[in-house]
Structure 1
Amino acid sequence: MTRPPALGTPRDVALAHATIRCFESGPTDGPTVVFVHGLLVNADLWQHVVPRLTEAGLRCVTVDWPLGSHELPVPDADLTPPGVADLVAELLDALDLHDVTVVGNDSGGAITQILMTRHPERIGRVVLTPSDSFERFFPPLFAALPVAARVPGAAAVLTQALRARWVQRLPIGFGRLTKHPMPDEVVDSFLRPSRNSRAIRADVTRFLRTVHRRHTLAAAEKLGAFDRPVLLAWASEDRVFPISLAERLAERLPDATIVPIADSLTFVPLDQPEVLADLIVDFVGRDAAA
Structure 2
Amino acid sequence: MPTLRLTAGEIDYQDTGGEGPVLVLLHGVNMDASLWRDVVAELGPDFRCIAPTLPLGSHRRAMDRPELVTHHGVAAMVGELMEALDLSAVTLVANDWGGAQFLLADGPNDRIAAAVLVACEAFDNFPPGRPGRAIATSARVPGLLWAAMQLQRFTWFRRAPGAWGWMSKRPIPRQVMDRWFAPALGDPAVRRDLRTFALSTPPPTELRRLVERLPSFDRPVLVLWATEDMLMPREHGGRLASLFPHGRLVEIDDSYTLMPADQPQRLAAELARFVTEVQSTST
* TM-score normalised per structure 1: 0.92
1:194 aligns with 2:184: yes
- 1:210 is paired with a residue whose SS is coil
In the alignment, what sits opposite 1:3?
none
Q: Is 1:97 matched up with 2:87?
A: yes
3-state DSSP of counterpart to 1:135: coil
Relative to the length of structure 2, the TM-score reads: 0.94
Are 2:136 and 2:199, in contact at CA under 8 Å, matched by a contact in 1? yes
Write the letter of the residue equivalent to 1:42. Answer: D
User: Does the CA-based 8 Å contact 2:92-2:112 persist in structure 1?
Assistant: yes
Q: Against the structure 1 CA distance between its residues 71 and 147, is the aligned structure 2 distance closer, same or farther, given a 3 Å change threshold?
A: same
Instruction: Tell me the secondary structure at the aligned position of residue 86 of structure 2.
Output: coil
Alpha-carbon contact 2:33-2:52 (below 8 Å) kept: yes
Amino acid at match of 2:106: R
**Matched residue of 2:269: which SS?**
helix
- The Cα shift of 1:144 comes to 4.2
* Equivalent residue number for residue 101 of structure 2: 113
- Is 1:16 matched up with 2:4? no
SS of structure 2 residue aligned to 1:16:
coil
Partner residue in 2 for 1:83? 73
Q: Give the structure 2 partner of residue 273 of structure 1.
A: 264
Deviations 1:41-68 (A, max 9, x none): 110100000022233x110001100000
Q: Which residue, 7, 27, 33 being the options, matches 1:43?
A: 33
Query: How far did residue 16 of structure 1 move?
Result: 2.0
Q: 1:241 aligns with which of 220, 232, 248?
A: 232
Distance (whole Å) between structure 1 residues aligned to residue 53 and residue 248 of structure 2: 28
- Residue 30 in 1 paired to residue 23 in 2? no
Do structure 1's residue 137 and structure 2's residue 140 form an aligned pair? Answer: no
Match of 1:4 in 2: none
Determine the C-alpha separation between the residues in 2 that align with 1:192 and 1:72. Answer: 12
Q: Give the whole-Å Cα distance in 1 for the aligned partners of 2:242 and 2:223.
A: 12
Q: How many residues align?
A: 277
Cα-Cα RMSD? 1.3
Provide the rounded CA distance (Å) in 2 between the counterparts of 1:195 and 1:217: 35
Would the aligned equivalents of 1:231 and 1:256 in 2 still touch at CA under 8 Å? yes
Deviation per CA, 1:228-282, whole angstroms, max 9, x where unpaired?
1111111111131022101111221111111111110000000000000011011
SS of 1:50's partner is: helix
Match of 1:128, SS state, is: strand
Q: Residue 18 of structure 1: CA displacement?
A: 1.1
Moved more, 267-276 or 228-237: 228-237
- Corresponding residue for 2:169? 179
What SS class does the counterpart of residue 233 from structure 1 fall into? strand
Q: What amino acid is the match of 2:278?
A: D
| Contact 1:145-1:208 at 8 Å conserved across structures | yes
Deviation by residue 1:53-85 (Cα, 9 ceiling, x = unmatched): 233x11000110000011111041401100110
Separation (CA, whole Å) in 1 of partners of 2:49 and 2:13 = 10
Residue 129 of structure 1 aligns to a residue whose secondary structure is strand
Identity across matched positions, percent? 35
> Contact between 2:104 and 2:217, CA under 8 Å: does it hold in 1?
yes
